Amino acid sequence: MSRQDRQLKVGLLFAETGVTAAIERSQRCGALLAVEQVNREGGVLGEPVLTLVGDPGGDPDRYRNLCDDYVRNHGVRLMLGCYMSHTRKAVMPVIERADGLLFYPTPYEGFEYSPNIIYGGPAPNQNSAPLAAYLTRHYGARVAFVGSDYIYPRESNHVMRHLYKQHGGEVVEEAYMPLYPSADDLALVVERVVRSAPDVVFSTVVGTGTASFYQAMAQRYGNGPRPPIASLTTSEAEIAEMGAEAARGNIVVAPYFTSVESPQSNAFVSQCRAFFPADVRITAWAEAAYCQMRMLCQAVNATGSLEVEVIRNHLYHASMDSPQGRVQVEQQNNHSHLFSRIGEIDARGQICIKWQSSTTIRPDPYVVVHNLDDWTLSMMGGGPS
Ligand code: ACM
């Protein structure tokens, strides 16, 4: 093999600008931290790992074009990236046609399988199912749905509606706003929430609209009690954008928070602090990107091959002692066995862990197997388990 043939090249598909820039920059930094570490440890197959970067700016066509450019003009078939689900859907045919592999480090709505995608973020049975049990137990039966208007929020709400019903709960409102909401869009949605008097709001708002929505809610409710907003996607990046006052008391669910206490998590946090630019936050989705990049490099080193099929088969039998705990890829559906954690944001904008799964949860992207009562039972204590 020539030197060029031996070099692992990975195309990154993360936006530097646009509606989801804050979270995608965090993911990109997580991936690049992994590459920096691997290269310092000697690289892959004796060569430094090469990353290709571009800025698809949150626009699905630009992700597809960038992916196509990596394949056609750079001979790259291994990619890591995408945040919003319509950007993943835009890239999928290009990856499948090239018989490549896209590592996708983001929570999403489930109900998808591609042999050419390794899903590194949670599916609904790993975040929505425990969250529904937690919210109905701790806050009450009435939930209002608020989301950005695209596939992930609409499909996630479909699953959440089903979960709430199973717990005897009721969806009292379902409202959507554009990805770039105007002040009027926000005011309209907030009024619909107020009028429906929910016990809790389930938000699938993503990107810059997240901070605007939480701020508009905090302003509208003023000093009075306000229903907490629970989200699968709000992370340290969006919390930094909205500020602690709008964030406090709200609920988040993810496989990882920087408040996880373990040698792997503590090391990851200090490595990120040293590596990330000052305005980029450490998030669960940076951790997912970091883990996926490290697992890809490990697979190529272990097998000595850059062939997609060889790498994929190796991943099914590998695991990683990651910042969130030991994770692995499930051969049946290409999704990942992940931890689930529910946190509450405190007055300083820090995420305090209120509940965590005692082991990883097997991915079930079609939500066919899970018995919801399991989660209710495991939450009887209320605190971390
Ligand atoms: C998402 O669109 N999967 C956050």
What are the residue ranges spanned by the domains of the chain? 7-121+259-335, 123-257+338-377
Q: What does the DSSP assignment read for 62-124?
A: HHHHHHHHHHHHH---EEEE--SHHHHHHHHHHHHHTT-EEEE-S--------TTEEE-S--G
Question: Is the CATH code 3.40.50.970 the one for domain 123-257+338-377?
Answer: no
More confident residue, 375 or 307: 307
Measured CA to CA in angstroms, residue 53 lies from 49, 88, 192, 280 at distances of 13, 16, 41, 17
What's the whole-number mean pLDDT along residues 139-167? 96
Cα(153) to centroid(ligand 1), Å: 8
Asked whether residue 382 carries a pLDDT value surpassing 60, the answer given is no
DSSP state at residue 304: T
Question: How crowded is residue 73: how many other Cβ atoms within 10 Å of its Cβ?
Answer: 9
Confidence band, pLDDT 50/70/90 cuts, at residue 2: confident
The string of pLDDT tens digits covering residues 197-246 is: 999 999 999 999 999 999 999 999 999 999 999 999 999 999 999 999 99
Asked whether residue 381 carries a pLDDT value surpassing 60, the answer given is no
pLDDT at 370: 55
Confidence band, pLDDT 50/70/90 cuts, at residue 143: very high
Top CATH class, 7-121+259-335: alpha beta
Asked whether residue 384 carries a pLDDT value surpassing 60, the answer given is no
Cα(38) to centroid(ligand 1), Å: 28
Asked whether residue 268 carries a pLDDT value surpassing 50, the answer given is yes
Cα(163) to centroid(ligand 1), Å: 19
Q: What does the DSSP assignment read for 305-334?
A: ---HHHHHHHHTT-EEEETTEEEEE-TTTS
Residue 106 alpha carbon, nearest atom of ligand 1: 3
pLDDT at 368: 73
Per DSSP (E only), the strands in 1-44 are: 9-13
Question: For the chain, what percent of residues have pLDDT higher than 70?
Answer: 96
Measure the CA–CA gap between 130 and 253, rounded to whole angstroms.
9
pLDDT at 369: 60
Residue 206 alpha carbon, nearest atom of ligand 1: 4
The string of pLDDT tens digits covering residues 5-31 is: 889 999 999 999 999 999 999 999 999
Cα(204) to centroid(ligand 1), Å: 9
Q: What does the DSSP assignment read for 358-376?
A: SS-B---TT--S--THHHH
Closest protein CA for atom 1 of ligand 1: 84
Q: Do 7-121+259-335 and 123-257+338-377 share a fold?
A: yes
Closest protein CA for atom 4 of ligand 1: 84
Cα(206) to centroid(ligand 1), Å: 8
Pocket test for ligand 1, best of 152, 156, 157, 253 (most atoms within 8 A of CB): 152
Cα(283) to centroid(ligand 1), Å: 15
Q: Which residues line ligand 1 (CB under 6 A)?
A: 83-85, 106-108, 152, 206, 233
Pocket test for ligand 1, best of 83, 156, 202, 234 (most atoms within 8 A of CB): 83
pTM of the model: 0.96
Asked whether residue 150 carries a pLDDT value surpassing 80, the answer given is yes
Q: Return mean pLDDT, the chain.
A: 95
Pocket test for ligand 1, best of 84, 157, 176 (most atoms within 8 A of CB): 84
Cα(83) to centroid(ligand 1), Å: 6
The string of pLDDT tens digits covering residues 67-79 is: 999 999 999 999 9
